[in-house]
Chains A and B, each alone.
Chain A
Amino acid sequence: MSGPGKNTAPEATGHCLCGAVRYRVFAPLRPASACHCTQCRRQHGALGIYSGGLPVESVVIEGTEHLRWYQSSAAARRGFCGHCGSKLFWQPMDQRSIDIAVGSLDQPTGLSLARHIFVADKGDYYEIVDDLPKSPGSKAA
């Protein structure tokens, strides 16, 4: 089995609100993106703030029996705790990488917000007032 050895210290840890699902990250976290797309806003009830693109083998999840996946598009699925409803993961369907919802990380995260994406789908009930880069669609757009 490849992946982190049990004596390696994780770069980051996190868990859902009730603690049923816990994870350890054995790769450096990437700067966070705030996603304003309607899918993220519906599911989070808020923005989707993710540290993305982590190699899937670098994230070790415990309590996977409580983790539910919802396929939200042809391209991706979203992982949440079936017990408390906490949003934890966004994952492309090839399952080679995984994004972590930053609110689920233990503090301090050492992260900072780097960009806003899908700002064309922004809600009407808030403004984006910082000077970070903004993309109308995904960061590739």
Chain B
Amino acid sequence: MSQIRQLPTHGQGHCLCGAIRFEIDGPMRDVVVCHCGQCRRQHGSPPGYTQAAWEHVRLAGEEALTWYRSSEKARRGFCRICGSSLFWEPIGTGRVSIAAGSLDSPTGLKTIRHIFVADKGDYYQIQDGLEQLSGSMLTASRA
């Protein structure tokens, strides 16, 4: 039986220039790495995301936050000053994915899964032995 690990219930982070800061007071999901073409284009590499309920996230410096509607279902939040990618929001769910790179260390999080591996870039390999899904967690088809 695997040991049950307590997931963090507090986290904080900021963009590179510090204009946008956030704090999470509530359960945080472990990190899921997305290999879809949209994520790779916007981040410039495959991003890992934690996730939380919006109601548990407190934002400061929101005036620097720019949202880009990347699909019918989601929008991406970045800092207009330094360009840091911070958030991916599945619209209408009340939840927000937070780019793990923006979190202050230690995060207490672990990477648990890769998604959209069918869209992976050709310039790297996934070798960590973690679960891989060809699409999203909703479609849940194994690669």
Interface residues in chain A, defined as those with a beta carbon under 8 Å from any beta carbon in chain B: 15-18, 32, 34, 39-50, 68, 70, 72, 78-88, 101-104, 107-113, 123-127, 129-130
Contact = CB atoms under 8 A, between A and B. Distances in A.
B31 A46 contact: no
Contacts of B83: 43, 68, 70, 78-81, 85, 87
Nearest to B123: A111
Contact of B123 (A16, A68, A82, A102): A102
Interface of B: 14-17, 31, 33, 37-38, 40-50, 66, 68, 70, 76-86, 99-103, 105-111, 121-125, 127-129
30 contacts: A17-B70, A17-B76, A34-B45, A40-B101, A42-B14, A43-B16, A45-B49, A45-B101, A46-B46, A46-B100, A47-B45, A48-B44, A48-B45, A49-B45, A50-B44, A72-B82, A80-B78, A81-B83, A82-B80, A83-B68, A85-B78, A86-B43, A107-B37, A109-B123, A123-B100, A124-B109, A125-B31, A125-B107, A126-B48, A130-B125
Nearest to A111: B123
A43 to B, nearest CB: 4
